[in-house]
Structure 1
């Protein structure tokens, strides 16, 4: 056998091996998807129906329960969160809505890499505009008036607890469709002085009611800060250290956030910050909360926690915003809550 023949045989064998591995991966993924599409005995009742963002007194969310509607945007009556879920045909990794405007972050697997997009939605969940994302979906928010939408993606790394990660946060004017691709272009004022650094990262935008002010997390030099920003002036100013994933209360007076504590198995503890006094109140949830909490009203916060016994599954929990009470399961098999 000549050297050329041997090389050809090795090449053919390698191709067959790779084909077998690829087929195995595809079959494994198909099997996992098939199992995820099977409803579980005793699981929540989920059915198709008309879901609009104009509906009142309902809570929208991403359905995480096993079955054909897994990852679909769904809703339940606010007064009966354990009731039957109405699911749309829109599937999202992250979702949020306000004032009849929604944003859906999607991540779809591809042959070589996943495809990530942000979809701006009208009140009937129809796509008004799509935008390519530079990484994996992480956070999404819409301003109270629906004027602005924001999203954060991981450009590298898989979570905020990763030793090496980079984020990109964008803000979209939903009226003009003008996109600010990255908050890293904004001017930063830190400790009262202009600040410049190559390692600046932002994530977790939350909007005030004036259609200009927002709050977000700034990360630089291995520290995180709560910043107050202005969309029109393209500036942010640091307020408090050790604040991540802020969420502004409906009355605009407080910010819920996760604080890095590194205590036992708890990496982040949920707090509420009074913006006038800068007093911080720890909340009753003792589990590590890796989420951007949502205010259901001026007294109650909702957030996702990993579901017991289900890899990648999440449940929605609530806790009083004043530090009293105890956590309560709100919706099993759910994430990304948005009160309508």
Structure 2
């Protein structure tokens, strides 16, 4: 695992630790590249809001304006609803047909058109705009809109509008299994050591096996796209958050839109979690943070910042299959990281 905390005063704290059996594969460092998974959504929302600022998109645009006939209820779903997960669209990762792609066993690369067609077979979870439900499908659609509007690939947009201008040398939109530099290895338990509550379709991962685990580092999740495809490092993401929250990437009006949230648990949400446009907010015991979590095979990431971007933190686990004890440890670590953020 990797932990990095920058409280805005002096040198960041960087820690990397690994189980002894993983050292035969890789000696982990705090600046290793990792798969950022759903943290990708914050970048996609930033790109969308840049186009809003340029008057090329509007948050009130119905999806059908850009993807006619491709999204169920596309005339009633707006881009804002996609960005803040109030569309009611079924989450494509819950369809069993995607299990081989999500476990690295399917070499077919799913396009956004194919995923949206698959999702159209599922009924809506609720009427657009009436509730909140996290759905990766929303960002598959957002990615398709971004490419339609700009005529450029998502990899080019991330490079030209985010990574290049900010000098993020280890941040890129992955379109295959290749890495750019030193990178953390990711693992999942092999089938014999998978926790019993894991569904059958997610018990077998592709990759070399040893020490009761499967090394999934070389797997490319062929259904990942605008919802989860970005690779980065803890240091790069800190720089991204700093630029985002300080207004370097978005004008004030669009940054305010990004930070306009809907309650994730309804109006009486005891945890006071709110989801904005591609980013979440939470009231912790030490202060209010903005964050996102990401999970793909072998990689679980948490990135967090204060409202100014001067204080940032991140941690990474080299697995997505967590035991109950690991979940408890992760929750305690999240609390510790959030409080260290505020010194």
**TM-score interval, smaller chain:** under 0.3
Would you tell me which structure has more strand in proportion to its own residues? 1
The alignment's TM-score, normalised by the length of structure 2, stands at 0.25
Would you tell me which structure has more helix in proportion to its own residues? 2
Q: Which has the higher contact order (CA 8 A, sep 6+)?
A: 2
Larger Rg belongs to: 1
